[in-house]
Structure 1
Amino acid sequence: MKTFYFEKLDVWQKARVFVKNIYELTAEFPTEEKYGVISQLRRASLSITANIAEGMSRNTEKDKARFINLAFSSAIEVINFLILTQDLGFLTEEKYFKLREQIEEITNKLNSLYSKFDK
């Protein structure tokens, strides 16, 4: 089986683990949030990995950079929802800090990757 370039990227691998953590966490949220914050958090975290993958398949550096920027924006959206879910009492402080640390590492890696492209 072929391994695509995006699969080798540390940032994509970390984002993949992060998505799994988000799915496990949101499975514990109140069921009435199924179409609310659960859906939003899951979609935003999935968007990080999807945009990295799609961006790395693009031919121009400008296009690659655009998708990495979209991945970064999705990561910021995730941070927003993590803050709100902690405010709502769905997330313990310990889980919040663990996820916050992970997503901050991902955003730092996305920024680093973005800076490598000629825009």
Structure 2
Amino acid sequence: MHNLKELIIWKRAIALATNVYQSTKDFPAEEKYGLTAQIRKSAISIPSNIAEGAGRNTNKEFNHFLGISNGSCFELQTQLIISKNLGLIGGEADSLLDELDQLQKMNYSLQNTLR
């Protein structure tokens, strides 16, 4: 089991999810159950899967949940790009996408360490 509160990747994923919620608060009402909900679900999934993996008994299990977390990163990346293309999100999309790139690199690095 890993100490979740010491994992920098988890802390950064929490910050990203918080920023995503703030960035999507002004999305149109008709997107409440569509794109807004899907973006937020993906963003929450990233730190949640890191946390679940950290609480498992083996590095192999942790690695599995890091893989799921990384899949959520790619899902969120796609949704943010679509939101940007639709004009629903402005310049903050670029900083969110940059942070996602950093999280993906950290994730791959941690997965390699656990193997």
TM-score range, shorter chain: over 0.9
CA distance in 2: counterparts of 1:25 and 1:19, whole angstroms = 10
Shift of 1:65: 0.5
Aligned residue for 2:106? 109
Gaps of 5+ in 1: none
Determine which of 59, 62, 72 is the counterpart of 1:61. Answer: 59
Q: TM-score, normalised by structure 1?
A: 0.92
Matched residue, 1:90:
88
Partner of 2:43: 45
Q: Which runs of 5+ in 2 are unaligned?
A: none
State the Cα deviation string for residues 28-51 of structure 1 (Å, max 9, x = none): 110110000110010001000110
Contact 2:42 2:76 in 1 (8 A): yes
Displacement of 1:15 after TM fit? 0.6
Moved over 2 A (4+): none
Contact 2:24 2:89 in 1 (8 A): no
Q: Normalization by structure 2: what TM-score?
A: 0.95
For residues 104 and 26 of structure 2, the distance between their equivalents in structure 1, rounded to whole angstroms, comes to: 25
Is the aligned partner of 1:100 residue 2:90? Answer: no
* CA distance in structure 2 between the partners assigned to 1:55 and 1:101 by the alignment: 24
Check whether the contact 2:4–2:10 (CA below 8 A) recurs between aligned residues. Answer: yes
Aligned residues: 114
> 2-side partners of 1:7 and 1:32: how far apart?
37
Offset at residue 6 of structure 1 (A):
1.3
CA–CA distance in structure 1, aligned partners of residues 26 and 5 of structure 2: 29
Amino acid at match of 2:37: S
Mapped to 1, the partners of 2:59 and 2:15 lie a distance apart of 26
